[in-house]
Structure 1
């Protein structure tokens, strides 16, 4: 299973990042929740973007383009194989930086990918 970092994790059950965290864990994936607020989602604590994880397969992004620049180095230093830009998070500047670093960039909905077996 792919270890997935959820950037923009939220304890709010109405947020897509919350739904994805639970869906990923139900499907047997290990997750890392990274966000601004404290708490836990799907039994995993939300941590600040300080510890760079070096064993991440996928980062699924739930931070809008206006707030992404502070995470560029964090994302690039994590060196995931894939970065999923969920609807509303698409950002040409980040896409270009990630692609140049050898990270596959996918513009898609993680929930749809999980539901259709494309994850």
Structure 2
């Protein structure tokens, strides 16, 4: 998939509330540190994982599934295997009327779910990470993943 920087930037700028499906409470798991990063950047992160339902993470109660969310959600970020995307999408469409974006993490793609989501008016991003894209697009990382801070031997 190829997405323009302006498209990704627009999504990240307009998004305020993100449901992270498949989040872990283990700080070494990518789903944890991506959700934590997004929380630190000012997004409201609603964690979703039936294994940890009822526990607290980033000041929010972890929900078992998307049907338990009452607040308006702008984006669903999926940390599940590709074969689970259709069920996550169906649940999102049924319970999140304000949803604007379905975002699939690195390694997660589903062509049929993408067609269905786009047909429902959603923006769909596949095989990308919002943390990496945020860092790249807002000056924290270059495309290769390196920090953009200037390193100089000058005193």
TM-score, normalised to structure 2, is 0.68
After superposition, residues 88-107 of structure 1 pair within 5 angstroms as: 88-107=107-126
Consecutive unaligned residues of structure 2, counting only runs of 5 or more, are: 1-14, 139-155
Partner Cα distance (1:35, 1:12) in 2: 12
The corresponding residue for 1:63 is 80
Q: Is the 1:37–1:46 Cα contact (8 Å) retained in structure 2?
A: no
Note the alpha carbon deviations across 1:17-73, whole angstroms, 9 max, x for none.
111211111111111111121233223221111324461111111111223343232
* Runs of 4+ deviating beyond 6 Å: none
**Distance apart, 1:7 and its partner CA:** 1.0
Structure 1 counterpart SS, 2:61: strand
Q: CA RMSD in A?
A: 1.9
Gaps spanning 5+ residues in structure 1: where?
A: none
Bigger relative contact order, structure 1 or 2 (CA pairs below 8 A, ≥6 apart): 1
Taking the aligned partners of 2:69 and 2:42, their CA distance within structure 1 comes to 22
Task: Name whichever structure is richer in helix by fraction.
Answer: 2
| Pairing partner for 1:41 from 57, 79, 97 | 57
Question: Are 2:39 and 2:58, in contact at CA under 8 Å, matched by a contact in 1?
Answer: yes
After TM superposition, the score normalised by the length of structure 1 is: 0.86
Aligned residues, how many?
Answer: 118
- Higher Cα Rg, which structure: 2
| Residue of structure 2 in register with 1:113 after alignment | 133
2:63–2:69 contact (8 Å) kept in structure 1: no
